[in-house]
Amino acid sequence: NAGVTQTPKFRILKIGQSMTLQCTQDMNHNYMYWYRQDPGMGLKLIYYSVGAGITDKGEVPNGYNVSRSTTEDFPLRLELAAPSQTSVYFCASSLGTSHTGELFFGEGSRLTVL
């Protein structure tokens, strides 16, 4: 029972480098999300997707890009990493046709930008 799988779990980047956080789910969920979690700030939505080929911005999309070419995969791309992107990133998915379903989360990816 894999559920939502995120890789890598930890990464250190230098300022200006780029990288992709991978997220895969095997539950055939249509809805997928990327959140970032900063200490004491809760979870902020970066991007979300309601199905393959459809993506939309969340609350804090600047500095990030996503794509959704398949139902299973929802990678998050960081271009020109900045210290402000140091955070823990969570991918989540949800069954159903609205945002009201239970979210299934990955284990998180801790990113440090130095």
Q: What is the contact surface with another protein in residues (CB under 8 A)?
A: 33, 35, 40-45, 48, 58, 88, 90, 92, 98-108
Closer CB to another protein, 75 or 101, in the complex:
101
Contact between 30 and 71 under an 8 Å Cβ cutoff? The reply is: yes
CA 42 to CA 56: how far, in whole Å?
20
Question: Shortest distance, CB of residue 114 to another protein, whole angstroms?
Answer: 21
Q: What is the DSSP letter of 108?
A: -
Question: Shortest distance, CB of residue 37 to another protein, whole angstroms?
Answer: 9
Q: What is the DSSP letter of 53?
A: T
CA 47 to CA 83: how far, in whole Å?
20
Neighbours of 15 (CB within 10 A): 11
Closer CB to another protein, 74 or 90, in the complex:
90
Question: Shortest distance, CB of residue 15 to another protein, whole angstroms?
Answer: 25
Contact between 92 and 106 under an 8 Å Cβ cutoff? The reply is: yes
Question: Shortest distance, CB of residue 97 to another protein, whole angstroms?
Answer: 9
